[in-house]
Structure 1
Amino acid sequence: MNAIDRQGTDTPLREQHRAPRQKAAHRIVIVGGGVGGLGLATRLSDTLGRDGLAQVVLVDRWPTHFWKPLLHEAASGQLDPATHQLQYAVQAQRHGFEFEQGELAALDRANRHITVNALLDADGREILPTRQIAFDTLVLAMGSVTQYFGVPGAADHALPLESVAHAEAFRRKLLDACLRASHARRTGSPDAQTPVSINIIGAGATGVELAAAVRDTVRLLNRYSPFSLDPVHDFRIRLIESGERVLPALSGAISARAQWMLARLGVDVLSGTRVTEVRPDAVLTHTGASLPSDIAIWTAGIAGPPVLRSLDGIAVNRNAQLLVDRTLQSTHDANVFGLGDCAACPAHAEGAILAPRAQVAHQQAQFLARALKRRIAGEALPEFVYRDAGTLVGFGREGTIGSLSNGLLTQPLFVDGWFATVVYKLIYRRHVMTLTGFARMALDSASHWLRRRVHPVIRLH
């Protein structure tokens, strides 16, 4: 008689008739800790996880979360990203989910597990090995990467703005260029009169906000002797857009107002201008112009992470975005969901998909928190309906403009001035409150207010 038979024979009768073991909790794995992914992990853990109905695992390549709409402020040096980052391990401990750091490498749909690449240190030594993580439901919320559209030299010489690391790289380049130019003017070198040229390629919301933030930064840098440059004459900030106007996704009225505000800030807008090549010291356009370039940054387009193209049996569009239906389920596997920038979610218009915006990811996370509860209960899934709340674009000291929408308005309401600025700031605070609760959000806001009164408003190192 083997060990299992002996155990069965020797077990007392009262133990053999115990109630059957509770069914294992449904395992939900979320890949990507952005606005949608982290928000979904937090909501699911606070509901299904707390009730023992689900086990939630969050996977991300980075150890911390940063709200991407603030990247232009980090890049311009007006915000210290370290004070606005949320550690995934801390959030996991507070809300009861698991966190695995690493990058998605593969998907095995048949056996329902993903493979996460090994985590290496700066010297290439292994910190964590390659791992396999099992799931019952997989949610891909991996955000996006920069789309260079095959422009020669763009990937090599134009910075993207996808992460805190990219923002920090731009900030360092900006400070270095200012130091170099300031020294040239003090020593009277031959290129002393050459302005610092900053080329921002793409005039969507990110590009427009970055251009305004950089103009604010060079004005603030003028206060400090190592960077003492004329904020108007010693800088050339260009915003290059292949379309006919800035903010092409927004209304003509908002675009015209943005163009006027950029002109007030001294930003050169080159609309209808297609970049054909990016070199280390110049940006070439379709007109044959060669624009001097100390720094080039690409904000002209996005695509899904390349790994999505290689996942087992998962359909993507030409931009490597996961094809999902109105329930946010993959068109090829009902156990795989997609949200945010990495997912091509159908819009109301036939054949259109929702734009990659933070509010889309936020609403999709709210939707999936409810939908996955129904899925676990064996109920039919609802369909996601996006409700556009409007768009606000910040211009630093020049203020904020945009539109607000809700079900009570027959058309979007144009807003600007102090009211628009207050709403713009409250959007971020709402995001923080969603993740940490009201009390921690209030303390966090107070600490940032105090910090700005104790420390310089611009980072100089």
Structure 2
Amino acid sequence: MPAKGKPYQLVIVGGGVAGIEIATSLGRKWRGARRRGQSAPEITLVDADFAHVWKPILHTIAAGTRDVAQQNLAFVLQARDAGFAYQPGALTGLDRAAKEIVVAPLMAPDGRTVIPERRIAYDTLVLAIGSEANDFGTPGVKDHCRFIDSRRQAIAFNHEVRTRMLQAVAFEQPLSIAIVGGGATGVELAAELIQLLDISTGLGAKGLAGLMTVTLMEAGPRLLPAFPEDISAATERRLTSIGIKVMTNAKVAAATETGFTLADGSEVTAGLKVWAAGVKAPGLLASLDGLETGRNNQLRIEPNLATTRDPSIFAVGDCASLQPAGASHPLPPTAQVAHQQAHHLVTYLPYWIASGRPPPPFHNKDMGAIVSLSEYDAFASLGRLGLFRGVTFRGRLAQFSHEMLYRGHQQKIFGFWRGGIVWFLDWLNARVRAPVKLD
């Protein structure tokens, strides 16, 4: 418990899907309590970036088919509007005995220290620092491949792909793009790149269509291994029909400056290489003051989402590993799971803080999965709940369902009315601004 006279400190590390929803919902709840003259905990959100972007749309920002400026949510503005504090910086350490986290200094581009290293005290800590691509130790990947795990990486990739496209047109040289990973991220990025190509051709880059190629490689026997087989097969057919070369059973042995070497010894030439295969939590978690981690650096957590070795520290989303009773695998690292875990803590953390009673076990609801192939198609599965469990569908209904996931997240962080206004502004901007990022 906090020292006498000091408010309770809830610290959340990571402003992704789960972190921003927890900070926003509880920030508003407790700010209202303080306005009524009641005591309430204080919330601090810590993140290495300055803005939140819903991770499932990073591939559209990377391709430039969605403008990052419209989708950014500055943490400092959200903190003001929702009633929490924001501290910029990356988590670098944890002192469980002192109940403090260590935050890296904030550096200016010229090397000056803007904000020095800090120690932030907590009474309850929520770790929601997400995940990153797993290169599985494959030689050359870190040196030669691009990643799109963060807002900054997506922006950097978009800048690079637009530069390469301009060079391809100006010098009439081929532009080959290869994506490793046939999960949802790789599949959706491949489709968005074809959308970028189609729009760019329509805007005057006439020769680009004959110069730019997109190859999607998957080590397993089919794309989208987490989806039903009929969706995997239909997705491969649709990607092929829009001009993407799909390679399954294509295990990458190494990345090189000129492309990829496969396990069978063959070569795939690529000037621009993207790694979207596998997921792991940041390596820092494996050495975080004795907290238990498992496969892929994920923190092991109890059914109530508390870490196994410290009941005052919770972990949610991609950085946490929870295997439900009777399940053969841990819960997948998806926005759907992160959202449900955030809702669980928003509901029960106030009782934990007020009474000391641990939250009840978390129960995940499999709501199915959706994959969007840009404007070309979409596929969805209804999961294992409800009357129509296991049903799959495609087309505009699936595209609309995919869009509604994002709009639901926006309403969580903006509120019903502001969320509706943001949706309208997105609709309006789509009709008055360029369909791809050009500046």
Specify the TM-score bucket, using the shorter chain as the normaliser.
over 0.9
Unmatched tracts of structure 1, length 5 or more: 1-20, 186-191
Per-residue displacement from partner, 1:199-257 (whole Å, max 9, x unpaired)?
000000000000011011111111234x33242x3222111100100001111111111
2:78, 2:374 → 1: CA distance?
Answer: 31
1:390, 1:348 → 2: CA distance?
Answer: 20
Q: Which residue of 2 aligns with 1:93?
A: 80
Please say which of residues 401-410 and 134-143 is displaced more in the overlay.
401-410
Per-residue displacement from partner, 1:85-115 (whole Å, max 9, x unpaired)?
1111111111111111111111110110111
TM-score by length of structure 1 reads 0.90
2:326, 2:240 → 1: CA distance?
Answer: 34
* Aligned-partner residue type, residue 202 of structure 2: R
Q: Which residue of 2 aligns with 1:443?
A: 421
* Aligned-partner residue type, residue 421 of structure 1: Q
Work out whether residues 227 and 381 of structure 2, in 8 Å CA contact, stay in contact via their aligned partners in 1: no
1:410, 1:236 → 2: CA distance?
Answer: 39
Q: Which residue of 2 aligns with 1:213?
A: 192
Give SS of 1:385's match: coil
Give SS of 1:182's match: helix
1:249, 1:333 → 2: CA distance?
Answer: 32
Which residue, 70, 87, 90 being the options, matches 1:103? 90
* Aligned-partner residue type, residue 372 of structure 1: L
Give SS of 1:222's match: helix
Q: Which residue of 2 aligns with 1:56?
A: 43
Matched, 1:235 2:222: no
Unmatched tracts of structure 2, length 5 or more: 34-38
- Aligned-pair identity in percent equals 35
Work out whether residues 305 and 320 of structure 1, in 8 Å CA contact, stay in contact via their aligned partners in 2: yes
Q: Which residue of 2 aligns with 1:176?
A: 163
* Aligned-partner residue type, residue 305 of structure 1: P
* Aligned-partner residue type, residue 440 of structure 1: R
Q: Which residue of 2 aligns with 1:390?
A: 368
Work out whether residues 165 and 208 of structure 2, in 8 Å CA contact, stay in contact via their aligned partners in 1: no
Structure number with greater Rg is 1
Work out whether residues 71 and 164 of structure 1, in 8 Å CA contact, stay in contact via their aligned partners in 2: yes
RMSD across aligned positions (CA): 1.6
Deviation at residue 381 of structure 1 after TM alignment: 2.0
Deviation at residue 410 of structure 1 after TM alignment: 5.6
Deviation at residue 406 of structure 1 after TM alignment: 6.6
Per-residue displacement from partner, 1:315-338 (whole Å, max 9, x unpaired)?
111311111010111111111100
Matched, 1:39 2:18: no
TM-score by length of structure 2 reads 0.95
1:347, 1:255 → 2: CA distance?
Answer: 26
Work out whether residues 382 and 388 of structure 2, in 8 Å CA contact, stay in contact via their aligned partners in 1: no
Give the number of equivalent residue pairs: 431
2:328, 2:335 → 1: CA distance?
Answer: 21
1:303, 1:219 → 2: CA distance?
Answer: 34
* Aligned-partner residue type, residue 211 of structure 1: A
* Aligned-partner residue type, residue 193 of structure 2: V
Work out whether residues 48 and 373 of structure 1, in 8 Å CA contact, stay in contact via their aligned partners in 2: no
Alignment of 1:69-80 (within 5 A): 69-80=56-67
1:99, 1:154 → 2: CA distance?
Answer: 34
1:330, 1:112 → 2: CA distance?
Answer: 14
Per-residue displacement from partner, 1:24-64 (whole Å, max 9, x unpaired)?
43211000000000101111112245323311111001111
2:32, 2:290 → 1: CA distance?
Answer: 33
Q: Which residue of 2 aligns with 1:356?
A: 333
Please say which of residues 437-446 and 294-303 is displaced more in the overlay.
437-446
Matched, 1:312 2:289: yes
Give SS of 1:107's match: strand
Work out whether residues 329 and 337 of structure 1, in 8 Å CA contact, stay in contact via their aligned partners in 2: yes
Per-residue displacement from partner, 1:412-456 (whole Å, max 9, x unpaired)?
221212111111111111100100112111211221222122221
1:244, 1:144 → 2: CA distance?
Answer: 25
Q: Which residue of 2 aligns with 1:425?
A: 403
2:275, 2:31 → 1: CA distance?
Answer: 40
Work out whether residues 49 and 56 of structure 1, in 8 Å CA contact, stay in contact via their aligned partners in 2: no
Work out whether residues 30 and 37 of structure 1, in 8 Å CA contact, stay in contact via their aligned partners in 2: yes
2:206, 2:241 → 1: CA distance?
Answer: 22
1:44, 1:165 → 2: CA distance?
Answer: 27
Q: Which residue of 2 aligns with 1:7?
A: none
* Aligned-partner residue type, residue 172 of structure 1: H
2:82, 2:165 → 1: CA distance?
Answer: 44
Per-residue displacement from partner, 1:252-300 (whole Å, max 9, x unpaired)?
1111111111111111111001111111221111121111111100000
Give SS of 1:229's match: helix
Per-residue displacement from partner, 1:143-169 (whole Å, max 9, x unpaired)?
012211111110111111111221122
* Aligned-partner residue type, residue 437 of structure 1: G
2:433, 2:192 → 1: CA distance?
Answer: 19
